[in-house]
Amino acid sequence: MTSPAGAFAWLPYLPMDIPRGGSASEIAGSELRAGFQALGIAEEPRIRPEGSSESYELVRKDGVITVRGGRQGVLYGAYRLLALLACGRSLPEGVQKPFYPLRMLNHWDNMDGGVERGYAGHSLFFRNNRVFFDPLRIHRYARMLSSVGINAVSLNNVNVIPPMDLLVTGEALAEASKIADILRLYGIRMLLTVDFSLPVRMGLATADPLNAEVIRFWADRAEEVCKVIPDLVGFLVKADSEHRPGPFTYGRSHDEGANMLARALKPYGGMLFWRCFVYNCRQDWRDSTTDRPRAAYDHYAPLDGRFDENVVLQIKNGPLDFQVREPVSPLLLSMPHTRKALELQLAQEYTGQQIDLFYLAGQWQDVFEVMSPEKVSCISAVSNLGSSPNWTGHDLAQANLYAYGRTAWTGRSDPRAYAEEWAEQTFPSAAGKITKLLLASPGVYEKYAAPLGLGFMVNPSNHYGPSPDGYEYARWGTYHRADRDAVGVDRGKSGTGFTAQYSADLAEIYGDPKRCPDKLLLFFHRLKYGHVMADGRTLLQRIYDDHFEGAEEAESLREQWRALHGLVPEDVYDRVLARFDMQVSNAKEWRDVINSFFFRFSGVPDEKGRKIWN
Ligand code: GCU
């Protein structure tokens, strides 16, 4: 793919040769020379490596721009310098250092080459049940990640389906280590996802974490893996979740399971990332006493202080599952004696699947408004990348990766600034208009796909498009319980008590329909269709209005894109337009299905007399 911008663009669009030099400062040097030439900058770039940290400083004096920094820091400094110069921004003063020491990307790639919840082609790392990659593509991938400061990646899916469980053994491990060798050049370290029941698969009678043979088994595994990949960050585990095996299978607790694995990794400085996405996925829909958003907190909060110091609990941003709108997970706000990582999702599973435009940085800003960034010690995100030539399927979805990298580096989300930076580097002739599109996109999608915090009205399994009852009588614990009078679940004191998992202040706000923000109203409350909202509209009318407006606004996004013809490269224009066409028809489908759904239950027509199908 050639640069859409002419000589310089954000790195994913730029070609690259496999670097001849090995160290970060050699790579930084050649990237800077090429970048300066492309940008037509006459000043001389200079690299001055000092120490080993990730920090850097950019100094401009007498026609020379110096990047001073640690072994890895100089590469970050070089990429940041190119970004700032491309955007015409001034250089920051003083030493720049990352907020989170670990800024991770989690791929959900399967060994057969598929990507779970992947919307950008197939895996960059696997094919036909083996490790398979194009080295040049991995260089480009690593450079793109490094350019936004990402420094750790897990390659394989959290659902470790055989033969992927053998990735931590023998030949597959040796092959994976070749990817680690490339990533290392760009300051990126690897994690591997492991299957808790691997000991059984390898011939032991049990995977009980307290069994001596099992303990030895994992100690040997960790030793071998860390010999082959000496800078491994550690293991990532999904246990006792959605049918994956875990300590419960053996009558043990999660601290016992996690600590056992962490102790195996400890001699090598390894860390154990333990996901907290644990809930009852075999719920009877008739059971209204079990409330899925409660699950992670109920399960883990009592275990605070029982995890080893190299265990990190990895917690999704919301208590349910990456919905368009959720409150912050109360677990992230609790467990002061436990290390925690925030897990975000760039893969747009519930947010338009990289067909519909959805810029995610606003969601993260909402998280940081409630959770101070120090509450967690690391950050991770499920990848939105794949083999597609533009990496993300939807060209504009690259902005999510860019914004994530900046968020992880700065410890805060600034949606406008990150969108502007990305657009200015990538499509300079249309940067302002593309920024506007990105910033408008989540509000538009939310209007047609997720009324007032109600989630899971999607088609089961593929999670794209509307199906209001698709999950209603299912076992996944995701119910809206709409009837002829009302919709939603009461999660306050008089309901499931979920709000009590927050501080008293927050519990009071969320628990009171008058104070609860509209955007979360139906997440926390069961309300009558006639409930009068702050702006005077009834709940039902607001739902109708949002859906009519959302569908119209999707068309307006497409029109705004059409106006960019000639300002972005033709191939990008065509690809994105084709996606907007799909988005417009998806939005209409959502509008008509959801509006009909509520009209059929309530019998109340739209005040404005617009068409609702009966
Ligand atoms: C969601 C998603 C699954 C994924 C799971 C997880 O439920 O649909 O595909 O495995 O999250 O985060 O583990």
pLDDT value for 20? 72
Catalytic residue among 321, 395, 424, 553: 321
Q: List residues bridging with 60 in a β-sheet.
A: 65
pTM strictly above 0.85: yes
Does the pLDDT of residue 9 top 60, yes or no? no
CATH architecture for residues 1-97: 2-Layer Sandwich (3.30)
Does the pLDDT of residue 15 top 90, yes or no? no
pLDDT value for 10? 65
pLDDT value for 17? 76
Distance 362 CA to ligand 1 centre (A): 22
Give the mean model confidence (pLDDT) for residues 206-221: 98
* Of the listed ranges 29-33, 120-124, 530-534, 560-564, the one predicted with least confidence: 29-33
- 607 catalytic, yes or no? no
* Mean pLDDT for the chain overall: 95
Position 6 confidence tier, pLDDT thresholds 50, 70, 90:
very low
One-letter identity of residue 483? D
Atom of ligand 1 nearest to the CA of 108: 10
- 570 catalytic, yes or no? no
| Angstrom distance (rounded) from CA 315 to CA 320 | 11
Q: Whose CA is nearest to atom 1 of ligand 1?
A: 321
Does the pLDDT of residue 98 top 80, yes or no? yes
- In the chain, the percentage of residues whose pLDDT exceeds 90 is 93
- Quick: pLDDT tens for 105-154: 999 999 999 999 999 999 999 999 999 999 999 999 999 999 999 999 99
Taking the domains of the chain in order of start, what are their residue ranges? 1-97, 130-258, 448-602
Give alpha helix (H) positions in 377-497.
398-410, 415-426, 431-449
Atom of ligand 1 nearest to the CA of 158: 13
Atom of ligand 1 nearest to the CA of 343: 12
Q: Give all strands (DSSP E) within 431-509, no chain letters.
A: 486-487
- 349 catalytic, yes or no? yes
Position 22 confidence tier, pLDDT thresholds 50, 70, 90:
confident
Q: Which of 194, 215, 193 is nearest to 204 (CA)?
A: 215
Pick among 3.90.1330.10, 3.40.50.1100, 3.40.50.300, 3.30.750.24: CATH of 448-602: 3.90.1330.10
pLDDT value for 5? 42
Distance 530 CA to ligand 1 centre (A): 35
Give the mean model confidence (pLDDT) for residues 80-106: 96
Q: Who's near 137: CB < 8 A, 6+ residues apart?
A: 124, 387
Pick among 3.20.20.80, 3.20.20.10, 1.10.287.110, 3.90.1150.10: CATH of 130-258: 3.20.20.80
Position 3 confidence tier, pLDDT thresholds 50, 70, 90:
very low
pLDDT value for 398? 95
pLDDT value for 18? 79
Tell me the DSSP string of 567-598. TB-HHHHHHHHHHHHHHHHHHHHHHHHHHHHH
**Substitution candidate for ligand 1 out of 107, 115, 242 with most atoms within 8 A of CB:** 242
- At what angle are helices 398-410 and 361-370 packed, to 10 degrees? 30
pLDDT value for 7? 41
Give the mean model confidence (pLDDT) for residues 363-387: 98
Catalytic residue among 165, 240, 349, 420: 349
| Angstrom distance (rounded) from CA 375 to CA 5 | 40
Atom of ligand 1 nearest to the CA of 116: 9
